[in-house]
Chains A and B, each alone.
Chain A
Amino acid sequence: EIVLTQSPGTLSLSPGERATLSCRASQSVSSSYLAWYQQKPGQAPRLLIYGASSRATGIPDRFSGSGSGTDFTLTISRLEPEDFAVYYCQQYGSSPWKTFGQGTKVEIK
């Protein structure tokens, strides 16, 4: 089973700042099958990025994903008030076993 480790656990930033979230895999994620989700309190997760770098439908271009192999990054170029949430990475390369990272909370500083 591939274990995903996200860092940091919490990121304290102000609106307008840049956020950089990391997701590291215990072994290589095949074909960059890595996704990022955003979750707000009381809501289901929302897909942001799939295939490590492709934005899902309707996702603003301030969200970008990069990386390959074992190291992946989600970048939010300029934080908007609605971006403060918890973010999860997920690998789906070793389908059908699709593990999640433990999450990074982006909070208002």
Chain B
Amino acid sequence: QVQLVQSGAEVKKPGASVKVSCKASGYTFTSYGISWVRQAPGQGLEWMGWISAYNGNTNYAQKLQGRVTMTTDTSTSTAYMELRSLRSDDTAVYYCARDGGSYSNWGQGTLVTVSS
């Protein structure tokens, strides 16, 4: 069965960077994109961006341009999301999702806390 397993919770100071991983299994990794979605405490879902696992093409939400980088490692079927210059309002649960148009499979989420 399709599984997306994310890395564990992180605590970072303002200005630092975080890199979250998402290891996929149960399907051909390069046949789908991976999208990243975050959810601040008590808030809704925010689309962050997308990466093609086939060729590495990316598209990022305008508000995160310049601070976010999404990559993949096809040898390990793993996607990564790096967010730089962290601020307190980046505190959120970060999800990866298999992107076949809609998101039929999600990772379990990674809590990133930004606090001094």
Seen from chain B, the residues whose Cβ lies within 8 Å of a Cβ on chain A are: 33, 35, 37, 44-47, 49-50, 59, 61-62, 95, 99, 101-104, 106-109
Q: Which residues does chain B contribute within 8 Å of A100, judged by CB atoms?
A: 37, 44-47
Seen from chain A, the residues whose Cβ lies within 8 Å of a Cβ on chain B are: 1, 33, 35, 37, 39, 44-47, 50-51, 56-57, 88, 90, 92, 95-103
Contacts beyond the supplied A35-B101, A101-B44: 14 A-B pairs with Cβ under 8 Å: A33-B101, A44-B108, A44-B109, A45-B95, A46-B106, A47-B104, A56-B102, A92-B102, A95-B101, A96-B35, A96-B50, A98-B47, A100-B37, A103-B45
Q: Which residues does chain A contribute within 8 Å of B45, judged by CB atoms?
A: 37, 39, 45, 88, 90, 100, 103
In the complex, what's the smallest C-beta–C-beta distance from B109 to chain A, in angstroms?
6
In the complex, what's the smallest C-beta–C-beta distance from A41 to chain B, in angstroms?
10
Q: Give the docked Cα–Cα distance between A90 and B61 (Å).
A: 15
Q: Give the docked Cα–Cα distance between A35 and B100 (Å).
A: 12
Q: Which residues does chain B contribute within 8 Å of A1, judged by CB atoms?
A: 62
Provide the main secondary structure of the chain B interface: strand
In the complex, what's the smallest C-beta–C-beta distance from A105 to chain B, in angstroms?
10
The 3 closest A-B pairs by CB, nearest first: A35-B102, A44-B106, A50-B102
Q: Is the CB of B44 within 8 A of A45?
A: no
Cβ contacts A to B, 21 pairs, < 8 Å = A1-B62, A33-B102, A35-B101, A37-B103, A44-B108, A44-B109, A45-B37, A47-B102, A50-B102, A56-B104, A88-B44, A90-B102, A92-B102, A96-B33, A96-B35, A97-B47, A97-B59, A98-B35, A98-B50, A99-B47, A100-B44
Q: Which residues does chain A contribute within 8 Å of B104, judged by CB atoms?
A: 47, 50, 56-57
In the complex, what's the smallest C-beta–C-beta distance from A59 to chain B, in angstroms?
11
Q: Is the CB of A96 within 8 A of B59?
A: yes
In the complex, what's the smallest C-beta–C-beta distance from A31 to chain B, in angstroms?
10
